[in-house]
Amino acid sequence: MPAKSAARAEVIEGRNLRRWGVAGLAMLTLAALATGGRADDHKIITSHGISTFGDLKYGPDFVPAYVNPDAPKGGEISESAFGTFDSMNPYSVKGTPAVGAALPFETLMTGVADEIGSSYCLMCTTIEYPQDRSWVIFNLRDDVKFSDGSPMTADDVLFTFNEFRTKGISDYRTILETQIQSAELLGPLKIKFTFKPGIPWRDMPAQMGSTPVFSKAYYEAHKQNLEESSMEPFLGTGPYALDHFSAGQTIVYKRNPNYWGEKLNINKGQNNFDTIRYEYFADPAAMFEGFKSGAYTFRIENSSKNWATGYDFPAVQKKWANKVELPNGTKANGQGFEFNLRRDKFKDPRVREAIGLMFNFEWSDKTLFYGLYTRINSFWENSYLAAVGAPTDAEKALLQPLVDAKLEDPSILTDDPIKAPVSGETQLDRGNLRKASKMLDDAGWAVGADGIRKNAKGEPLKVEFLNDDPAWDRIINPYVENLKALGVDASLSDIDPAQMSERTDPPNFDFDIITGNASTGYELGDDMTQSFGSSTANNSSYNRAGLASPAIDKLIEVAKAAKSKDEMVVVAKALDRVMLREKFWVPQWYKNVYTLAFYDMYEHPDLPPYALGETSFWWFNKDKAAALKTAGAFQ
């Protein structure tokens, strides 16, 4: 089934404690990062890139190993989108941005799909930074052009930074306001960012390199506003720009034939399509029918039912369209049923656990998903960061202070990480029903004469599932039936995507349970605060659950101060254990392959581990496309 994104905009995803205790080491690490604890902390490094930990995989002027540098340019790739759009501004909380709205914008640095934690110069030639990373200087290229041909300068970078610092989505604004001490122009193509003392600086140079850049002149001349919804896009430097659209139906991006970065080695084998088109559909059934008819030509299939039973239509039978599975090495996306922890009825973890017990994954996978999925049991599922078994000594060193502060139960020091409950093959698992009943009884929700559980005030335990995709009804409805058997007044409310955004975005947070993504990365930084920190519990579209846990906050700060990959891995495992105990979600499922269908005119290299890259490093075979057209593949 499809993953439900928690983001409102397209924005750039063991601790070796040796002989120190976690509290002492964390304080030492934070102090060293914040103030410069060694003589060599101020040694200046000049480089073509930066890595969170260790060395970069690639040297200067590299071609990514996973691309076909001789991939032909041309043709179109078209995909589908659900719902509608009314804005080309992906950085505002207002409006619904179009799919691909961030395509026209580039950042000073970029990552690669076969390496974690690296950032390489794209619009800069080099960066300069001290060993302690307390500031960074970007030396910009002198040939970067906006899509109208005007040059990009450091003044555009400074202008965009200032706009994001005071406007736009709160997730950007919070970081820039609280962590940047100053931004200074050192020349027409040179800009310096200095970071505030008292915070970890490890990720800050890369963070500043990942901010989009707009044209100051265009923005001011057209009286644009980062905070407002608008169908007039900002002017960017990217390889693609908006070509045309039909409001709420179709949007097309066209490759800029004069793209400034076309000949850069880092861009070889990428940006291969002349146009990227998205077709919008009001419901999933119509979306699937659109693919069958050739209304769009590339489909990432997220419906297990469609994948198992739906691909027997003429285009597949005649070999016009391919149905393939390709390896997906990325971690699971953390998809689950998320509770709104701001609701009083969900304050007691026993209530949340009881509700979670009533979702029968095993029955769902066999009956609804055709056995295609695996249950998620970790916030870092399908990765080396997932907690397994009893805690190691290094993990215990992190967890012990939380136990001492009575933020965690001592059992966390000895037990395996909490796993999702296992159910039988009938829809309603009687054993889990009995467990859940006792939990609700103990939590003060007794069954009334009408069969509905009520608290001491006589208030019923009502739970509404909010859903904007009808394909999910067949999954949620059996869950609702199981909860009713428990005495919960459960219901499913189907609403449209615009209503979903209105109800689940800040400041409203007007929901009980939604399907969302508890999004984590391979490297733990400010994204963890955005998604799980107490400071974002009531103001971030990433932390829709409203999670506010002092134990999680403390571990996030230690994670952000980690100075090696080994340290960070151990913090992630400890965090996984603590987060699982919060029971703020009912984990769903994942699969470790991409399930794809596309018309037989697209080709690709061997996929890198961390990206599908269909709009980036796939390419168009014009001869195959002509043969399909002659055969009548497209109506």
Distance CA 456, CA 558 (A): 41
Mean pLDDT of all residues in 420-432: 95
pLDDT in tens, 172-188: 777 788 899 999 999 99
User: What is the residue-wise DSSP string for 103-162?
Assistant: TT--BSEE--TT-SSEEEESSEEEEEEETT-SEEEEEE-S--B-TTSPBP-HHHHHHHHH
Structure tokens at 515: 């399907």
Q: What's the pTM? A: 0.81
Burial (Cβ within 10 Å: 0-12, 13-18, ≥19) of residue 299? buried
Break the chain into its structural domains and give their ranges.
36-65+84-221, 240-329+592-631, 335-590
pLDDT in tens, 306-365: 999 999 999 999 999 999 999 998 899 899 999 999 999 999 999 999 999 999 999 999
Structure tokens at 376: 């998620």
pLDDT at 42: 74
pLDDT at 151: 98
pLDDT at 541: 86
Give the class (CATH, top level) of 36-65+84-221.
Answer: alpha beta
Same fold flag, 240-329+592-631 and 335-590: no
CATH number 3.40.47.10 given to 240-329+592-631 = no
Closest CA to 489 of 456, 459, 509, 444: 459
pLDDT at 448: 93
Distance CA 102, CA 104 (A): 6
User: What is the residue-wise DSSP string for 175-244?
Assistant: HHHHHEEEEEEEETTEEEEEEPTTS--TTHHHHHHTSB---HHHHHHTT--TTS--SSPPP--SSEEEEE
Residue 41 banded pLDDT, cuts 50, 70, 90: low
- For the chain, give the mean pLDDT: 91
pLDDT in tens, 491-536: 999 999 889 989 999 999 999 999 999 889 898 988 899 899 999 9
Query: What is 335-590's CATH superfamily?
Result: Dipeptide-binding Protein; Domain 3 (3.10.105.10)
